[in-house]
Every structure is written in C-alpha cells, then in structure tokens.
Structure 1
Amino acid sequence: MSILNVITNKTYGYEDAFGAADCSSIYMKDAIEEWFRLFYQDKPDKFGDPCQRIPYTVVNKLTKTMFGEYQATGQDDFASSVLDGLDKVRKRLAHDFMIGGISYIKPFPLPDRIVFSSVSRANMLIFGTDVEGNPTDVGTAERTVSGSAYYTLLERRTIGPDGKLTIRNRLFRSEYDSQIGRPVPLNSIPRYEALPEEYTYPEDVGLGMVALRCPVPNCVDGSKDPVSVYAAAVGLIRSINRNEAELSGEFERGKSRLIVASDMLKPSPDGKHKALTDEVFTAFDDDPETVGITAFSPALREQSFLARKAEYLRNVESVIGLKRGVLSEVEAMDKTATEVTSSAGDYNLTIIDFQQAWESAVRELMPLCGKLGQLYKVAGAHDLTEDSVTIDWGNGVLYDEDKRWTDLKAMVAAGMLKPEYAVGWYFGMPTETPQDFEAIRARYMPEIESLMQGGGDM
C-alpha cells in the first residue's frame, strides 16, 4: 500500500469506510502529504530533481547521531525481551516520527514474546483528541494481497468515557488496486481469522500504542499536531530541487541553444500550440528561408548555481537546527553523540530533544507491555514500571559521564553527597533505599575511600 493513501488518496474512501473524518486541518493534511512525498521521491518531475535527497539526509543523519551510543537494558528477562523486540524497529520508528511528526509504537503480544511495528502518520487517521491534543480515536489501514484480490483491514481504536479502549476491525476485499472494495468476514484470509470484530480491554491501556512525537514547533497551522523535522525547510528543499534540475538541464543541453523557425516544431497533442520537442530548440515565428538556424550560446552558470546550492543547504541547517556543515560541506562525516558533545548551538539541543522524546516513549511503553503481556498470557509477563529499563546514551549530548563523575566526587569531598550514592551511580546500582546503600558498601567497601580520594578509574 502506498504510504500516502490513507491521508490523501480519496479513491480508497477510507474516511467513508470508517464513518468519520480526520480532525486535522486541511493545511496539515496537505503538509503531511508533502513531507512523505519529498522523503520518498527519487525521480525528477517538472518541478525539480530530488537527486540530493535532502529529507532523507536530514532524517538519516539525525537517527544515526541519536542512537550513536544508545544502550538500553531491562531489569529482568521479560523487560529485556521487550527491549529486544523494540530494538528491531527503533530506526523505523525514528524515521517515521521525523518524517511525519508522529509515529506509534504498536505492540503485538505473541505466546513467547512481544513484537512491535511502527504506525506512521501517513497510515493513520485521527478522529478525536483530548484537551491536550493527544489522540483518543484513531483509524489505521493495512493492505494484503492474496491471490488476485486486495484485502484492506481497517482498525479503529477508541477510548471511551470510562477510559477503556475498544478496538473494531473490518475487512474489505477488492479486485482492483485502486478501490477499497466491499466488506467481507475477517476469516476471509488466514491472516485475520483470529481477530475479533470488536473487543474492549478490561483495564486502562490508553490506545494500546505509545506515541513518539517529533519535538519541533508546529509551523504549519499552529495547532498541537506534531510536524516533520524538516517542515520549516520544505520551501527551501523545493528550491534546492528546482535549482538542481536547472543546473542539470544546462549541462545536459550543453552550451548551445538553437533558434529555429516555428514550422520545424511539431504540434502539441491538443493541437493548440506548437510543442518544444527538445529543450534545445526555441521557436522563432518568421520566414524560415530568411531566418535559418541561429545558435544562442550563453555561458554555463556553474559557479552561481553551486554557490546558491551551498547557501540553500546552509539555510536548511539553520532552519532545522543542524550543526553548520553537516549538509553543506561534503567532507562532513557522520558523528556519534559523543563527537558532537562539544558542538555549541542548535544542533546539540536538537539531538537532546530527540533523545529525550525517545526515552520518554520507551519508559511509557514498559508499563503498557506489562499489562498487555499479562492480558495475552505472554510467557514470563509481569507488571513493569518506567524504571524497569535503564537507558544509557553514552558519553554524549545528554550529559558527559566524565564531567558528571568529577562533579559527584567534588560533592562527596564537600560533604554534600554520600559516597555510596556516587559509587552506585558509577556502577549503575540502585540508590533509592538504605538497603541499596548497604549493598553498595558490602560490594565496594573498602574501595570507596580510595576511589573518592584518588579520583581514579575502577
């Protein structure tokens, strides 16, 4: 299924099938279509040449930097298995929420584990939100080809007044790719035969999914809807694509343009005017015997085009918040979180925001997986909390571990902090209760005193 069908393709009639309309403004719907089109477009059209793939470059560099030194560990086997499943789709999730402004982490409980998928904004309709702008009624679509038929599963998730989630599933069958078709039973294909038509969860699980929101201000309509990381740079990206097409065209045509008599050109298909069958030719409506063929040879504007292109890229960096040179300097290399720690300005802050957004989503996901795991009787499932996971971003942009350790030792030396707390942080041990402190003393005493005085490494 095309990534743009649910939001923008009216042929399928998704809103009619759901019996509800997406509550986002027309400006947001148009913007969402544009974000995904720019990201996935790889062929030139009459508006420009996307060969530089600016949206992909931005999203890919941010994702690689965001997870450059990322590590997540669970407190036990079940929590670790949840993180293992999440790790398989985290890059997909990051790409989707950077492109479309939001993506949902959707758990699928299996008998022995929980797996996950990413639901992007392009494949979701939002029918209702709460006062904070959080969706409370959403619809998603999934398309499957079986034999010569096209099957589309529509899933609607609605949080009722009692806070309980109700899921409704409907399946449609069509012989044509361009139509959603007619309703059929869920057991029409094996993939969906076990799905209930309607199910209400016995306890509060929200939407049964966790939102990952892009931390960028809405510059489209000012609403609470999240927007793409490159939303503010869409106009610049269009200009870059147009600039690339103009430059490529000049090189393809060479330096010369031939001015010829108009009767040498073929009529257009509609017969209303004479078509330029080749961009090298320009019509001159006069007597061909007296005009002949005239060569027009302007100098190629290579330097001016390249200079303008570099300026566009620097502007994209400034608008999005990337470090200067990440896009505009070809020698700029991919950087890990540690390597950009010393970078000042918006780039550093942007990476922090993305890492915090991911960490918040993961911590929200853990209790949900605990509930779903027990409801679906996943092996080893039990209650999880936000603290069931430890996330380490490395010696990176959220904090500098070396500096943090130096600060903690200074606080201990000044009598502002107990040594056990500092050592517990150093070794990743809990420091919440007296029992935690006793465990630290039992394991690391008498090394604590020498460690705090010598400043050393262990």
Structure 2
Amino acid sequence: MFERVKKWWRGVKRMLTVQTIKKVIGEEISLTPDMLTSIEKWNDMLSGRAEWCEDYVTSLKIEHGICREFADVSINEMEASVSNEKLNDLFQSAIEELNENLQDGIGLGSLIIKPLGKDKVEYITADRFIPIHFNDDGKPDDCLFLQIKPRGDKYYIRAERHSIRSGNLTISNRAFESNSASELGHEINLSDVPEWAGFPEEVSYIGMDRMDFGYYRNPVKNKIDGTPCGVSIFDSAVELIKKADIQGSRLDWEFESGERAVHVDERALRFDENKGRNQNTQYPSMPKLNKRLYRGLNLQGKNDEELFKEFSPELREQGFINGLEKYYRQIEFAVGLAYGDLSDAQYVEKTATEIKIARTRKYNRVTAIQKKLKDCLEDLVAGIAFYNGMYTSGYEFTCKFNDSILTDEESERQQDRQDVSMGAMPLWEYRAKWYGETEEQAKANVQQPAEVIE
C-alpha cells in the first residue's frame, strides 16, 4: 500500500503542477516544474534512490549525514519558550519531534509546521505543499496543502488553501475523486468523504494578519528558478555525492573481487552420484570450507603439483579510501560543514588556521539556519495561539542558541594545553593536532628550542 501511495503521489505532483493546478487555483503559482523536479531529485537521494544508484552502485547515505549534522548542531542547545504557561506547554509538545523533521526540511529545502486544531501539529516538507505566492519577506502568504486518501481503486484528494486576503486569513477546502494516478479527477462534495464532512468550504478570520503556521526555508540562494522556494542544503554537492557513492562502490568491489580463492583441477574433486538431477549426472565436491574458496578448472597437461593453485590478489584499498576521503572533504566544503564531520579526521592534513576557518564556515551556516528556524517557531507559536483563542492575549516568545561550535574548540585547546603542562600529553601530539603537522614534523619541531604554546 505504501509503495502504491508513493507512486500515485508522484503522479499527482506532476499532474498538478503541469496540467491542472493552475486551473484549480485560477492563477499562477510560485512552484515551477524545475523546482518540482529538484525536490523529487533531493527526495530520491534521501531515499537512496538517486539516478546513479543502480547496478553495483549503492547510496552511502551522505545526504542523511549532512542533514543530521546541521539539525543536531542547530538545535542541540536551543532554548525556546513562551511566557504564557498554557501556550508554552502546547509549544513544547509541538517541537518534541523537531529534530527528525528538521532534517527532512533541511534536505528538501523547506518545512511547514502547521497546527491541527488546538493541541496538535503536523510537519509538512516541501514535497507535500504547493506555495502559490510569497510575501516580500519570502514567506508564503498563499499556500495549498493536499491530503490523499486511497480507497480501493479510487483516490480522494482534499485541497486545503490558506491565504491572506485583505489583511484577513482565509481557509478554503475542495475535494476531488480520481480513478487514475495521473489525473486529479472530478470535484465532489466534502461530505462525500465522511472524515471531511466537517470541513468548511471557506471561512475567513478577521484580524489574523499572518499565516497560521510556521515556515522554515534553508538559507541557500535559489539558483534553480529564482523563486523564494527553499533549496536543499546539499544541492551544491550533488555531483560530488554522486562521485562519492560511485567511489564507495569501487571500494566494495575491491574487497569483493580480492577474496581469496583456490583454482582446483577437476582431478582433485570428488564426484557425488547421489546429488545429480538424474542417474547420469554427477556433481563435484570438496571438503567442507567456504563455498567461495574453491573454483574448478580444467588444468589438463599440468603435473600433480599444480592440481591446486591459490588466487590471492593484492588489495589496493588504500587508494580507493584516499579518493573517497577526498570527496568527503570536498562535500564538507561545498555544503558548509567542518573538516572531519564526514571525513576521517586523520586524513585531514590542514593547518590550525585552515581548520579554524572551516569551523567558522560551519558556524556561519548553522547560525543562518538558526535564524530561519527562530522565525519559523515564532510564527508557529502565533498559529497555536490563534487556534486557542489567544492570538491577541499578549505573550512573549524567546529563542536562544549557543555558539558551541567555536567555544568547544577553544575549550578543547585549553584542556590540551593543561595536559601538556602536566605531562599527560606529549608536546609533539599537541603540535600535530593544532598546527596540522605530521607526526614526523611535530617531533622534529619539538627538538628545537622551547616555544611558547599559543
């Protein structure tokens, strides 16, 4: 059922944006075919179904690592609260699953956190809503949400539109029935689907001058279609991720193809008549060992000493590993991560200054994500307050983030200085770690006159 829904959902997205959505909305929309194609590409990559993941190439899930790292660091030490006790309880409950959903939002470019009544919220990623129009701040002020209910051979779709009109929030609902995965079908009454019978066709809320949900968008320039639609955090590294996945598969093949085998002449094999498909068929066998260890060959003309010949090629894995690590570092640079977030730190031959610059780069990217997230959560609180009749009641929302990316580095360095002073850490190891020197260089440098550790 799940695969069937996913297949149909892809068909609906293509059909809505290319053929029908303008007719349903009655006007132009901000979601372009180019952006939809990109969202589908990012979604496939996150699902391990990138276009290059076929035959022997499998995904290394680098995209997951990127999104998880940015989400973890961004909200790890977040302190957010509302001054009103009731609103704060509802808000804290709403963000319990923020981390895992923010990962999806970072991967697909944008995320909406939408209240469902008074005490529940729904996380909606870019592949499940259609922005119709954006305001001057780059936030959607007209947006369409789709709810899909497959039943038997039919599909039911509810199109829920939220928009700001003349300074008021208007919410409308329309329902459709379809027999095909590529057609919207015909419009029906909301009451034809029991679960939707209570939804109003249209209702306006006077005085609600902002959307009733929080909208998060990655701080990444949209060079796909120039619209305010969000762009995946790893979009700039798609080709590098492709190369890394292929390189990873090469490494796997190097290990698989290098497995030890023994080429065995047929004269050294035993034949078991009892395992044949008929009385005239005989199958060779060897003493029980790994099934892949022996390979039968016809070595006629060779002497008995060559009945067994070992095949054990030399592995070249280090070259493949070095290449993969290089791709990891290039990906880290492209998306704004620090060296060592994806790559193995021991392969990163960088000076202390370069490492610090990389951490600063990550800090700047995370800070930008946090600013966008703060705006999203502030709007979410307004939406929760609205549905609980407290929109104009007066409350304060506070959200603070700690800059542990930089402070942790300085704390770690200070601790290492103390370890060197106590003799718990050799000076050459300190130099290798913080000055980016090799072990040989560091040991050679500490033989010189004593220096002041900075």
Q: For the superposition of Structure 1 and Structure 2, which TM-score range results when normalised by the shorter chain?
A: 0.5 to 0.7
The answer to whether residue 114 in structure 2 is matched with residue 109 in structure 1 is no
**1:126 and 1:139 in contact (8 A); partners too:** yes
**1:11 and 1:179 in contact (8 A); partners too:** no
The answer to whether residue 331 in structure 2 is matched with residue 316 in structure 1 is yes
Post-superposition shift, 1:399? 8.4
Post-superposition shift, 1:191? 2.0
Aligned mate of 1:389, from 397, 400, 415? 397
In structure 1, what is the equivalent of residue 386 of structure 2?
371
TM-score (norm 2): 0.65
SS at match of 2:404: coil
For residues 125-140 of structure 1, the aligned pairs below 5 Å read 125-140=130-145
Post-superposition shift, 1:326? 0.7
| Mapped partners of 1:234, 1:7: distance in 2 | 23
In structure 2, what is the equivalent of residue 273 of structure 1?
none
| Mapped partners of 2:176, 2:323: distance in 1 | 50
Post-superposition shift, 1:58? 0.8
In structure 1, what is the equivalent of residue 362 of structure 2?
347
Post-superposition shift, 1:94? 1.2
| Mapped partners of 1:242, 1:13: distance in 2 | 37
The answer to whether residue 43 in structure 2 is matched with residue 39 in structure 1 is no
Aligned mate of 1:157, from 156, 162, 176? 162
**2:378 and 2:397 in contact (8 A); partners too:** yes
**1:158 and 1:166 in contact (8 A); partners too:** yes
Could you report, residue by residue, the CA deviation over 1:379-434 in whole angstroms, capped at 9, with x for unpaired residues?
xx46355x62333435735989xx9xxxxxxxxxxxxxxxxxxxxxxxxxxxxxxx
In structure 1, what is the equivalent of residue 178 of structure 2?
174
Post-superposition shift, 1:104? 1.4
| Mapped partners of 1:399, 1:390: distance in 2 | 22
**1:79 and 1:388 in contact (8 A); partners too:** no
**2:17 and 2:31 in contact (8 A); partners too:** no
| Mapped partners of 2:391, 2:143: distance in 1 | 28
TM-score (norm 1): 0.65
State which drifts further: 116-125 or 223-232: 223-232
**2:217 and 2:229 in contact (8 A); partners too:** no
Post-superposition shift, 1:79? 1.8
Aligned mate of 2:60, from 49, 52, 55? 52
What is the CA RMSD across the aligned residues, in angstroms? 3.7
For residues 205-354 of structure 1, the aligned pairs below 5 Å read 205-249=209-253, 251-252=255-256, 301-329=316-344, 344-354=359-369
Could you report, residue by residue, the CA deviation over 1:110-139 in whole angstroms, capped at 9, with x for unpaired residues?
3xxx32112211112222233454333322
> Which runs of 5 or more structure 1 residues have no equivalent in the other structure?
257-296, 333-339, 375-380, 404-458
| Mapped partners of 2:378, 2:15: distance in 1 | 35
Post-superposition shift, 1:329? 1.5
Post-superposition shift, 1:163? 2.4
The 1:326/1:20 distance shift into structure 2, 3 A limit, reads: same
Post-superposition shift, 1:321? 0.9
**1:4 and 1:122 in contact (8 A); partners too:** no
| Mapped partners of 1:9, 1:237: distance in 2 | 30
SS at match of 1:359: helix
The 1:384/1:53 distance shift into structure 2, 3 A limit, reads: farther
> Which runs of 5 or more structure 2 residues have no equivalent in the other structure?
261-311, 348-354, 412-454
State which drifts further: 87-96 or 39-48: 39-48
Q: Which amino acid aligns with 2:187?
A: P
**1:6 and 1:122 in contact (8 A); partners too:** no
The 1:7/1:48 distance shift into structure 2, 3 A limit, reads: farther
Could you report, residue by residue, the CA deviation over 1:287-326 in whole angstroms, capped at 9, with x for unpaired residues?
xxxxxxxxxx997653332221111111111111111001
What percentage of residue pairs aligned between the two structures are identical? Answer: 22
| Mapped partners of 1:300, 1:22: distance in 2 | 56
**1:106 and 1:119 in contact (8 A); partners too:** yes
| Mapped partners of 2:240, 2:357: distance in 1 | 28
- Size of the aligned set, in residue pairs, is 344
Q: Which amino acid aligns with 1:104?
A: I
